[in-house]
Amino acid sequence: MTNMQLKIRTAELNDLPKIVEIYNSTIESKMVTADTTPVKVESKVEWFHQHNEKRPLQVVEYENEICAWISYQNFYGRPAYQKTAEVSIYLHQDARGKGLGAILLDKAIKECPSLQIENLLAFIFSHNIPSIKLFKKFGFEQWGFLPEVAELDSVKRDLVIMGRKIIM
């Protein structure tokens, strides 16, 4: 996949079923999300509407099919943190391992100044080595470590907070 073949656009409400499908496809691996059972489209409508021009939700199309999505969310929900955001990137199982995550993370970093984001965060399970390596490749550092804060199939899991200062 190359940038030339991808179309990235603001998500529309009718994209939500595909967004949820991609999200749910990551649950079984126990590597990406702390959800343990599939979520329903209806449960994500409010989350969808929380996105806006400064904290967008975008879908990625390849050959007219949504293959990934990227979202920005406020960190901690208080005004003093408005220049800090969390980024989430989810890929359809057929799009994984093809460099799309790197394309999207690069795009996210470049778009931060226009979104007034000075600090970009990612919350990653410590056993998700591919994601940690990807974020490190793009200059993210470990800014936090929360030991055994999640439990997946009776296994305690650590959460790593990766962060990067954005040069404005």
pTM of the model: 0.91
pLDDT of 53 > 60? The answer is: yes
pLDDT of 1 > 70? The answer is: no
Handedness of CA 127, 141, 119, 69 (dihedral sign): negative
Higher-confidence position of 4 and 11: 11
pLDDT of residue 24: 93
Beta strands in 15-140 (DSSP E): 57-62, 65-74, 84-91, 119-125
Query: Nearest-CA neighbor of 5 among 82, 68, 57, 87?
Result: 68
pLDDT of residue 3: 64
Give residue for tokens 């936090």: 144
pLDDT in tens, 78-90: 999 999 999 999 9
Contact by Cβ (8 Å): 50, 73: yes
pLDDT of residue 153: 87
What CATH number belongs to 3-165? 3.40.630.30
Percent of the chain with pLDDT over 90: 80
pLDDT of residue 128: 94
The mean pLDDT value for 128-157 works out to 95
pLDDT of 34 > 60? The answer is: yes
What are the residue boundaries of the structural domains of the chain, listed by start? Answer: 3-165
Query: Nearest-CA neighbor of 40 among 24, 57, 51?
Result: 24
pLDDT confidence tier of residue 29, bands split at 50, 70 and 90: confident
Instruction: Name, in order, each residue with C-beta under 8 angstroms of 99's C-beta and a sequence gap of 6 or more.
Output: 1
Query: Nearest-CA neighbor of 12 among 62, 63, 65, 51?
Result: 51
Contact by Cβ (8 Å): 44, 38: no
